[in-house]
Amino acid sequence: MAAPLARTQLSKLKSISQIPCQINRIRNQTLSLNRLCQRSIFTSFVRPKTATKWKIGAGVAFVSSVFATKFITKSDAASEERPVSRHVKGILDIGDQKFTLYQFQSCPYCCKVRATLDFFGFPYDVVEVNSITKSQIKFSDYKKVPILVVDGNDGENDFTLQFSDSSVIMSVLASYVYDQTTTLQTIQTYYPGMKEKRGRKTVWDFPNKYFLMYGDNIADSRSEKERSSERQWRKWVDDILMHTISPNVYRTLGESLEAFRHFSDWGEWDKHFSTPTRLFVVYVGTLAMYIIGRVVKKRYNIKDNPRESLYEACDAWMAELGDQSFLGGTKPNMADLSVYGALHSFNGCEAFNDLMSFHAIRGWYDNIEAIINTHEGASQLGQKPAHHPNYIGYPHCN
Ligand SMILES: N[C@@H](CCC(=O)N[C@@H](CS)C(=O)NCC(=O)O)C(=O)O
């Protein structure tokens, strides 16, 4: 039997768009720029007394707007030509199913999902989404990343499944690995999505997202307390840890610029997007995220020096681990992978370097990273019958 439904009320949902994600904000900044431009032009005509000031404003905004639009159009064309950014080989045989992850490389939610895919050793394609146009996910009703698309054939018909929301995707993958007697089509029905219109925004909720659904088919030796702590800490990552990220990564304009330059290299934006788009995202993003970092800081009561809040969150995590290597005991569980994903999203930034230099979390981080990179999660399959169809062998497996 599947785990009981969580009764999360949609009204209690924290707005998903409050999340510290640079990319969405940049898009909004672009739209505001357009709006500002229109307003400025309008005002310069109807209020001739302040004409000079407004005309200069309108001119600057208009030129910026035209450039922005050009960049966006160009980048659209460039990215649509090369939708798959890279293939990850993995070590699992998933038959003729094909996994495609639509993502932003430095989005913390996408990093959570990649950590899970890599931990289990799934093969998958990555599509780097253009953060301004989001043209690569136009097919989807859900307008955020990560999205995982699975194409397959059930023996009779081809099928395509779409999984949205990082926590849902992680739960689906873990449920599938632990209980492969249940198909992905069936597992999908355990994670219904509910959407609600809030003004012009559409907000999604997936009430079961923190539950693993492997039911009675698998003997789970974990106690209910352990399972509940896994869910609780996964939620903590989304509700607490995530909000410490943007005030830290974009703490000053200098740090913000360095972060964007790094994200551009890490996400290989030069390969996936046109030069004007890349430069636009880097420079407008630097400013936009610096401002947003300050807004998030205020909204979530982040300390004056945001490093303190980040370190406090990491203290809480380390205190929960106690003597254990991972929250999952000797092996990482979904909460471990979530914390790792959130922190990994800003690796290479000054905030990350500070954290690794000054905080004891480094040992845990290095250990889990090694485990993810060697796909040790695949050894979970060692607990299954030797003829397990999806396991193609791995040295760590008993
Ligand atoms: N709750 C979602 C949040 C995903 C999310 O906020 N993604 C951001 C990128 S970090 C996004 O796609 N923003 C685009 C937008 O809101 O338009 C999850 O866990 O996946």
Domains, the chain, ranges and CATH? 83-383 (1.20.1050.10)
CA–centroid distance, residue 279 to ligand 1 (Å): 22
* Probe residue for ligand 1, chosen from 145, 147, 208 as the CB with the greatest number of ligand atoms within 8 Å: 145
Q: What is the pLDDT of residue 47?
A: 40
Using pLDDT thresholds of 50, 70 and 90, give the confidence band for residue 1.
very low
Cβ of residue 338 lying under 6 Å from some atom of ligand 1:
no
* Probe residue for ligand 1, chosen from 16, 18, 209 as the CB with the greatest number of ligand atoms within 8 Å: 16
CA–centroid distance, residue 23 to ligand 1 (Å): 9
| Residue 239 DSSP one-character state | I
The string of pLDDT tens digits covering residues 180-232 is: 789 999 999 999 999 999 998 999 999 999 999 987 767 678 899 999 999 99
Report DSSP letters for 274-311, one per residue.
-HHHHHHHHHHHHHHHHHHHHHHHHHTT--SSHHHHHH
Using pLDDT thresholds of 50, 70 and 90, give the confidence band for residue 63.
low
Cβ of residue 16 lying under 6 Å from some atom of ligand 1:
yes
Cβ of residue 346 lying under 6 Å from some atom of ligand 1:
no
Is the distance from CB of 188 to CB of 160 less than 8 angstroms? no
Cβ of residue 144 lying under 6 Å from some atom of ligand 1:
yes
Q: What is the pLDDT of residue 380?
A: 66
The string of pLDDT tens digits covering residues 251-265 is: 999 999 999 999 999
The string of pLDDT tens digits covering residues 84-141 is: 999 999 999 898 999 999 999 999 999 999 999 999 999 999 999 988 889 999 999 9
Q: What is the pLDDT of residue 167?
A: 98
Closest atom of ligand 1 to 167 CA is 19
pLDDT at 76 over 70: no
Q: What is the pLDDT of residue 213?
A: 92
Nearest CA to ligand 1 atom 17: 24
Region 337-362: mean pLDDT is: 98
Cβ of residue 343 lying under 6 Å from some atom of ligand 1:
no
Cβ of residue 22 lying under 6 Å from some atom of ligand 1:
no
**Strand order of the sheet with strand 158-164?**
86-88, 124-128, 98-103, 147-153, 158-164
Distance CA 283, CA 261 (A): 9
CA–centroid distance, residue 89 to ligand 1 (Å): 26
Q: What is the pLDDT of residue 322?
A: 97
Of 288 and 130, which is predicted with more confidence? 288
Cβ of residue 109 lying under 6 Å from some atom of ligand 1:
yes
Cβ of residue 146 lying under 6 Å from some atom of ligand 1:
yes
Average pLDDT taken over every residue of the chain: 82
Distance CA 26, CA 39 (A): 20
Q: What is the pLDDT of residue 258?
A: 97
Is this structure's pTM higher than 0.75?
yes
CA–centroid distance, residue 26 to ligand 1 (Å): 13
Is the distance from CB of 248 to CB of 307 less than 8 angstroms? yes
* Probe residue for ligand 1, chosen from 13, 14, 24, 249 as the CB with the greatest number of ligand atoms within 8 Å: 24
Q: What is the pLDDT of residue 59?
A: 53
Task: State which amino acid sits at residue 381.
Answer: L
Cβ of residue 57 lying under 6 Å from some atom of ligand 1:
no
Cβ of residue 135 lying under 6 Å from some atom of ligand 1:
no
Distance CA 92, CA 288 (A): 41
